[in-house]
Amino acid sequence: RGLEAGNRGDVETLLGVLDPDVAWHSALHALLGGEATVFRGDDGVREMLRDLYGAFDEIHIEISEIRDLGDRLVAIGRTRARGNASGADVESPIGFVAEFKNGKAIAIRGYLDPKEALEAVGLRE
């Protein structure tokens, strides 16, 4: 639900699946020429999305594989985006590790290399 909400720009529905104190480690900020950054809580997630939608006219994440590990999951897929200023299309593999407590995501970490996401939870391709 969170991914679908994020893809359509529905911030409130996205926040609804996240713990209010979520720690989101964004890998997509590396695509902006910066470093992976952590955003905390609802306000941090809103800031992260403002940054991304400020830089990209369009962002779409497709997940092709999900591995349920109980209180964690690994999601592997691709990100497609179009730059606001340049109009350039960007495509990148992506992986996420999400940790859950009481049905809400308490931590999300993004990786531009899906192998790193798998390795972070002790798995291999």
Over residues 99-109, the pLDDT tens digits come to 999 999 999 99
Instruction: Give the three-state DSSP class for 11.
Output: helix
Q: What global pTM score does this model have? A: 0.89
Over residues 7-64, the pLDDT tens digits come to 888 999 999 999 999 999 998 877 666 666 789 999 999 999 988 888 888 889 999 9
Residue type, 98: A
Neighbours of 88 (CB within 10 A): 9
Residue 90 phi, psi (nearest 5): -125, 135
Neighbours of 74 (CB within 10 A): 21
